[in-house]
Amino acid sequence: MLKVGITGQKGFVGTHLYNTLGLFSTEFERIEFQKHFFDTEATLDAFVAQCDVIVHLAAMNRHEDPEVIYTTNVNLVQKLVASLKRTHSKAHVLLSSSSQEERDNLYGKSKKEGRELLSQWAQESGATFTGMVIPNVFGPFGQPFYNSVVATFSHQIANGETPQIQVDGDLKLIYVGELVQEIVQKIREAKNEPLYTVAHTAEAKVSEILGLLQNYKTQYQDNGEIPEIQNTFELNLFNTYRCYMDIKNHFPVLFTQHTDPRGSFVEVIRLGIGGQVSFSTTVPGITRGNHYHTRKIERFAVIKGKALIQLRKIGTDEVLDFYLDGDQPAYVDMPIWYTHNIKNIGEDVLYTNFWINEPYNPEDADTYFENV
């Protein structure tokens, strides 16, 4: 089993990589990293000495003074190299560099110099090094005004603000989940590649991205309709946008109920894509679920009985509780990377409709079990 440590474990890409490695618990053991490990040689050496693989993601992306970015990033690599030498490490080191290497700015310069420093260490020590030059990364839980324009626009739109386009450039993009797959593959290959350019998986103008996100606000956030998804990029962008909504206060969403002497009618979901609709009954006291998805869009709609739906973001402790009652039919949507369940807390049978955007495939279920 490979022991893998991630500098920048709590960062945007680091969090996704750490959580994904956890899905392969028989293949990888995750070595915990804390930001303060870089503060002293002893703590950094203790971390480095444990690792068969080190993915160096720790870096500064933005600061008012570009010199601070440059100095910080180069200094982090220098500290890592020094620790690798002190511990006589033969770890496979992977570095996340940036396509900004090609541009004349201090951030790009810092990433290129860091990659060259680690490449030189690997040559001298006979170790393995993978220097990954990465395009613009977007995805859930990125920090607005820091990680990407997608994070910034999603945060602003979801919170009723109006984004401004500074330059309507053409962006070469990769979804964080796709990047993590690349990193995992490179860990498995364990080849010496001082310069490996990660291909972008999508290309779009800033204005095109803004238009799609604004449509998600209108269709989904305001009206509860799942928008038409044309391709994988749009699915990833939609799932990214959903994670910037105020989930605590948005759900549960009450349905519009039409009642006459015959009974009642409720439209459960209106969608621009297909998927699978299912129905369940649950006896009192029983809990269903306790799993999460990394790409699927899913809706739980309670139409009769009393239910407690719980959500918890993977890697965190906060549990969100939503109480639903069939007397006021409502739904809760499941964000990706949130483990979730539903429990019958009433005295009668609970009736629930479930919708998910793709039919169940046992060979690619995208369903990972973890208690809320």
Alpha carbon of residue 108 to chain centroid: 24
Element (H, E) at 350: strand 350-356
pLDDT more than 70, % of the chain: 99
Average pLDDT estimate for 22-49: 97
Q: Which residue has the higher pLDDT, 271 or 224?
A: 224
- pLDDT score for 360: 84
What are the CA-CA distances from residue 8 to residues 37, 38, 47, 302 (Å)?
Answer: 11, 11, 13, 40
d(CA 145, CA 167): 15
pLDDT-based confidence at 258, cuts 50/70/90?
Answer: confident
Whole-angstrom Cα distance, residue 257 to residue 267?
8
pLDDT band at 270 (very low <50, low <70, confident <90, very high): confident
Confidence class for position 359, pLDDT limits 50, 70, 90: confident
Q: Is 76 a residue whose pLDDT tops 90?
A: yes
* From the candidate CATH numbers 2.60.120.10, 3.50.50.60, 3.60.40.10, 1.10.3720.10, the one assigned to the domain spanning 247-369: 2.60.120.10
With a cut of 90, say whether residue 99 has pLDDT above it.
Answer: no
Domain extents in the chain:
2-148+158-205, 247-369
Task: Please count the residues of the chain.
Answer: 372
Residue 271: pLDDT band by 50, 70, 90 thresholds? confident
- Distance (Å, whole) CA 310 – CA 111: 41
Superfamily of domain 2-148+158-205, CATH level 4: NAD(P)-binding Rossmann-like Domain (3.40.50.720)
pLDDT in tens, 199-232: 999 999 999 999 999 999 999 999 999 999 999 9
* pLDDT (average), residues 66-88: 96
Q: Is the dihedral of CA 207, 209, 212, 216 positive or negative?
A: negative
- Can you tell me the mean pLDDT for 118-140? 97
Most confident of 100-109, 180-189, 223-232, 271-280: 180-189
